[in-house]
A and B are shown apart, each in its own frame.
Chain A
């Protein structure tokens, strides 16, 4: 972090994101290059990066991309399509910050390759609503204060929207008492179903409140 600290407070119209990118570039120049392409120095089969074409729809808009086969759906969204609402938390499927909807189903975009989504229809937080026209779940999170730092929030909201759909579709959960009956929409069910989304600030009670409010309205 030396270089970014040295560069100090940015001047003028520099966004937080641009500032972070500049800082990261400085870091690379200042030298960590050994694993820069993810290839360890002991690579037995030193294959060159492979590019592949893939096309899929994101928030209703079709995109054709040529990507390194290693690109995750998360990195394709953030780094290639500049849809930075979807967050990279753990990058190993444990935190849920990268949750998006693929064909209406919630998935961890960090644990799937972009090339595996040929022809798919992806919805990210940007596709659910806009600041002027928020999705009811986004509005409920604002109203109930369902966040603190906000980093996990896009994943929480995408996940929450899908959870209500899953309950409606009769998909059971670990806390569903009767497997042969329709699952209930209660606090225990919501908490269990949201367990793949971690909030380090601990805004869980407000998140649960926000989801409960939307659930009550759509029932």
Chain B
């Protein structure tokens, strides 16, 4: 790990000011992903800003009937919140499908959104990776690509976003609230928050340098049967090959988002019009522009079958 200077801050304004003073600094909260990447020298910040002292660990009701989740709310606490379990079941399910108990106790809501890919070529510093080292090429294309993306991919990158939580946030139409280094605030719809790789796979979100997430807001509950189904190589503690977050209403209409298939949580609103027709029709629209590799083409069928299982479960609920 490269040496770095370290400071603790106690308010979002202080955090913003610290970020402005130290270009290239990173915020650290749970640290579960950042520390791992720093050990491998994939992340090499010269300065760390510890934001754990910010009072952003509350889950509060909003005037609109939704919830404002503080950036520092730990994954365990978010999954355990009574309102989340009752009204946003897909979110609670996605959270407990991810990582281990120890990691969920550390990982935060904001940090989870900012997780970096687990593509093996990103993690192996001996391999080319446009995300880790822009312009160096992509070892995954033509390499071991079984766990990687099938849709929204580019010539530069076929990495997936690893988060389960973010997939549920996408299907719930969450909004990300931030503060910039100049102290100004903005709200970013989750649909726009994560980017597709294009020819700049190292730029993963809409955040500007030094911009800090302060909260994630959920709109008022939409009811329905809420399901998160994750398909992985092990029964527990593994990243998704494919995951489906779905909210299905009594009349068969609803929403669906996918994990494990793209550089961001994958949702195509137009595909949801096909939901009453079943999984095949929805999948055809969701993955219309898919460009799988020979190694991961199985995910096309796996998405359809996982969605079929989800819709059957919703019908029986």
Contact = CB atoms under 8 A, between A and B. Distances in A.
Contacts of B5: 47, 50, 69
A196 B3 contact: no
Contacts of A107: 102, 105-106
Given A70-B1, A162-B101, A169-B80, A40 B41 contact: yes
Interface of B: 1-6, 8, 28, 30-32, 35-36, 39, 41, 44, 46, 48, 50, 52, 76, 79-80, 85-86, 89, 92-93, 96-97, 99-103, 105-106, 235-237
B2 A38 contact: yes
A43 B1 CA distance: 11
A39 B2 contact: yes
Question: Top 7 nearest A-B pairs by Cβ distance?
Answer: A196-B100, A195-B236, A195-B237, A179-B85, A47-B3, A171-B80, A69-B6
Contacts of B79: 171-172
Interface string A159-188: 100110010011111101001100000000
Contacts of B100: 93, 96, 195-197
Contacts, number: 127
Contacts of B36: 92-93, 111
Interface residues of A, number: 51
Contact of A116 (B1, B31, B85, B101): B31
Contacts of B80: 169-172
A72 interface: yes
A69 B237 contact: no
A48 B2 CA distance: 9
Interface in A101-130: 105-108, 111-113, 115-116, 118
A106 B31 contact: no
Contact of A111 (B6, B8, B76, B106): B106
Given A96-B100, A108-B32, A52 B6 contact: yes
Interface of A: 37-40, 43-45, 47-50, 52, 68-70, 72, 91-93, 96, 99, 105-108, 111-113, 115-116, 118, 159, 162-163, 166, 169-174, 176, 179-180, 191-197
A113 B106 CA distance: 12
Contacts of A173: 96, 101
B4 A50 contact: yes
Contact of B46 (A40, A45, A99, A172): A45
B31 A172 contact: no
A99 B100 CA distance: 11
- Give chain A's interface secondary structure class: loop
A72 B101 contact: no
B28 to A, nearest CB: 7
Nearest to B29: A116
A92 B39 contact: yes
Contacts of B235: 195
A93 B2 contact: no
A111 B3 contact: no
A47 B4 contact: yes
B103 A93 contact: yes
Nearest to B79: A172
Given A45-B46, A93-B103, A172-B85, A116 B2 contact: no
Given A39-B2, A69-B5, A70-B4, A192 B236 contact: yes
A103 B237 CA distance: 24
24 contacts: A38-B1, A38-B41, A43-B2, A45-B44, A47-B2, A47-B4, A48-B3, A50-B3, A52-B6, A68-B3, A93-B102, A106-B101, A107-B106, A111-B31, A112-B32, A112-B106, A115-B6, A115-B50, A159-B102, A172-B80, A173-B101, A195-B100, A195-B236, A196-B102
A46 B194 CA distance: 32
Given A107-B106, A171-B79, A112 B35 contact: yes
A166 B76 CA distance: 10
A111 B237 CA distance: 16
B145 to A, nearest CB: 22
A199 B100 CA distance: 15
A107 to B, nearest CB: 5
A191 B101 CA distance: 11
A93 B237 contact: no
A159 B2 CA distance: 31
